[in-house]
Every structure is written in C-alpha cells, then in structure tokens.
Amino acid sequence: MSAETPAAAGQFTRRRQQFRAWRGARPFWAGLFVALGGLPIAYFPYANLQIGHLTLAMSTTAGAGSLIIGVLLVVLGISLWFQKHVRVFAGVAAILLALVSIPVSNLGGFLIGFLFALVGGAMAVSWVPGEPPQAEPPLEGKGTDGAPEGVVPAAGDTAFPGLGKPGTQAGGPAVPGPRGGVDDGEPSQVLTAPGAHDLSGTSPANGANGRHSAG
C-alpha cells in the first residue's frame, strides 16, 4: 500500500459528498429517467436487428419524428439538472412527448422509453426544493430547574428530588415535633392500653374530664 492511498481515498470521499449535495439540490432522478427515456425512442426506428443472414429493419415512416422526440427528451432531462426552476414545464413536456411517442415511435420505443419518460416527468412535476432545518426558539415561561413558573412539584416527583415531600421544607429549619424530636412528617400518637391511666392522670377512655389521682 502506497502513501498516496489515504489521500486518494479522502479525495474520493470528498468528491462523493459534493456530488451528493449537488444531487440533493435538484430533481436528479427525474432528469435521469427523462433522458434515459429519450434514448430508446430515438434509437429503435434506426436500428437493424441481425438474425443470422436476415436483417430486420425496425424503421418506420415517422423516423424523423422519433429522432426529434428522443432528442427533446434528452434535452429536457439535462435541463432538469442545471435549470431546476423549469421543472414543472419540463415535466409536463416530457409526459406529453412520452404519450406522442406511442403512435409515432414504435409504441414509445417498445414501451421502454415511454415508461421512463412518463415516470421521470411525473417526478419532475412533483419535486420541490427542501428547506433547511430551523433552530427551535428558546423556551419561555420556565422557572428554575425547568419547572414552569408558579407550579409546585407534586409529592414523589422524580424530576425534582427533595421537593413536594411531606415533612420537608425548602430552605427552612427543622421543626420539632410533639415528642421533642424532629418532625418526620408522621403524627404523634400515644400508645396506651384500653383502660390504662397515664402518669398525668388522664384516661383515654374517659376523655379530658376523666382525671384520677395517682395513688
């Protein structure tokens, strides 16, 4: 492998990318089909088929008309490559010439040229230039951390950890609970047996008025 091989490969890649960009900015395939459709239409009326010692001529009385139709189709195909603004006119003209070639040029070059020109003309009429992608505008009305302004995150929201959970306060001190510890978000409950009295003399069964002396 020579030292010039990587440079040649890079140049080939660059040429291929340039051709791809050039091809994407115009109806390339439409022009190719139209030009290919004109070749059999212009060729078959002047061709001679040799079968052994027998020569079969496929020329007709309208041989000049076939040549004109074929040349016009080739010119329209090349025009679609270099003059893309005439794509509608060239497409319609290619379709009309393909239809005229059926009675004039051996059924449109034995239907080969007719089909190529018809498909290419339809592609030329329907082709439109592409639009470059537009940048998205910046999002408006968003608060910090991507949350909308004035919206409080719900409890358990994974997108905003630590916010909206019970017993937590954003930026505030811890609040002591009824049991003297830090409030963990659960209500304080006094677990007593039925009928038992606490040291304060208050019975849960009697309510606030059932006071007994310890004794």
Domain boundary assignment for the chain: 27-126
* CA dist 92 → 8, 68, 115 (Å): 43, 17, 14
Instruction: Give me the count of residues in the chain.
Output: 215
The confidence score (pLDDT) of residue 180 equals 47
User: Which one, of 153, 99, 144, 151, lies nearest residue 121 by Cα?
Assistant: 99
Integer Cα distance of 189 and 146 in angstroms: 40
Q: Which of 36, 14, 32 is nearest to 23 (CA)?
A: 32
- Please state the rounded mean pLDDT for residues 125-138: 76
> What percent of the chain is modeled with pLDDT above 70?
56
Query: Over 70: is that where the pLDDT of 128 sits?
Result: yes
SS3 13: helix
**Higher pLDDT, residue 78 or 48:** 78
Residue 142, pLDDT above cutoff 70: no
Burial 136-154 (b: 16+ CB within 10 A, else e): eeeeeeeeeeeeeeeeebe
Confidence at 100, pLDDT banded by 50, 70, 90: very high
Selection from 176, 157, 179, 158 nearest residue 167 by Cα: 176
pLDDT of 81 > 60? The answer is: yes
Sequence-ordered list of residues with C-beta below 8 angstroms from that of 93, at least 6 positions apart, any chain: 72, 76, 121
Q: How far apart are the C-alpha atoms of 90 and 85, rounded to whole Å?
A: 9
For the whole model, what pTM was predicted?
0.57
